[in-house]
Amino acid sequence: MVNCLSCDEVCMSVHGVPEKVSIRLIAQSLRQGWHDFLDMALVSMGFAACFVVIGIVLMTGFVTIGMGPMVPPLIGGFMLFGPVSMAGYHALLAARKAGQSPRLGVAYGAMRHTPRPVWVMGLFCCFMVLLWLTDAGTLYSFMVGEWRHDWMSVLPHSSQLLRFHFGAAIMGGALSLIVYTVTVHAVPLLVRGQGTLVTAVTASVRAVGRSLFAHLLWAVLLALTVMASIFLLPALLVVLPVVAYASIHWNKTVFPEGANDTSA
């Protein structure tokens, strides 16, 4: 008889079988993320500031060229790059745990030396963003079809804009779900030095499948929180670090640290 490894055994050989998690752990992860932020508030906000500046520039640029209604899809696409920033926040947590002083140089240094597979994930996110914006742009040409230079056009204050935003949200939501499923655990695992790109992505997909409801609720919570804070960009200085730290703890709950560390 031919001995075949089960799917669980294959996963255990690299990352271990992902833990099943309940929705209670969402609140726990957020509390941990909040406490981490309070312990490193200034450096955490300083690292988030670069993303806030980029967001302001992009939003202003779109309104200036007359494509105000395209700002929400742009914000949604910009949000997909969030997992790549995980390396910086992970480095800050590691520095504090090691008794070192968390500094901006630690976060930016971690971004520069991020493992190549993480940047591959970043390119994947970039491709998905371009796909989202292309689809939204096509929809915009059919449903709006005119230049809108005012900031009010960013919000769906008319039936025409409401239909456009709804259609763009449906298309973007499907793409975001794909990105979320692939990256939610893959990026943190790669940042932790565990496994390869293929094994990390496989483990992430499997983890989402094992605790589907909890992961979907986590995704909706992150999306609504980050989207709302981007519209009020100063809030992103707090929200982004808290969400990043919470995501790190969420990942460590699903894949306990040291269980199958292939970097050793």
What is the C-alpha separation between 247 and 238, in angstroms, rounded? 14
Alpha helices in 71-115 (DSSP H): 71-79, 86-97, 104-112
Query: How confident is residue 230, by pLDDT bands cut at 50, 70 and 90?
Result: low
Q: How many CB atoms lie within 10 A of CB 36?
A: 23
User: Which pLDDT belongs to residue 149?
Assistant: 72
The pTM of the full predicted model, rounded to 2 decimals, is 0.81
In sign, the C-alpha dihedral spanning 229, 90, 107, 46 is: positive
User: Which pLDDT belongs to residue 262?
Assistant: 41
User: Which pLDDT belongs to residue 160?
Assistant: 77
For the chain, which residues make up each domain, given as ranges? 23-254
Of 184, 139, 195, residue with least CA distance to 166: 139
Query: How confident is residue 217, by pLDDT bands cut at 50, 70 and 90?
Result: very high
User: Which stretch of 1-15, 144-158, 165-179 has the lowest confidence by average pLDDT?
Assistant: 1-15
pLDDT at 264 > cutoff 60: no
Burial of 129 (0-12, 13-18, 19+ CB in 10 A): buried
pLDDT at 185 > cutoff 80: yes
| 148 phi and psi angles, rounded to 5 deg | -125, 105
User: Which pLDDT belongs to residue 13?
Assistant: 43
Q: How many CB atoms lie within 10 A of CB 159?
A: 8
pLDDT at 99 > cutoff 90: no
What mean pLDDT, rounded, does the chain reach?
81
The 10s digit of each residue's pLDDT in 104-147 is 888 888 888 888 888 888 888 878 878 878 888 888 788 877 77
Quickly tell me which residue has 């992860």 as its tokens. 29
Query: How confident is residue 77, by pLDDT bands cut at 50, 70 and 90?
Result: low
Percent of the chain with pLDDT over 70: 88
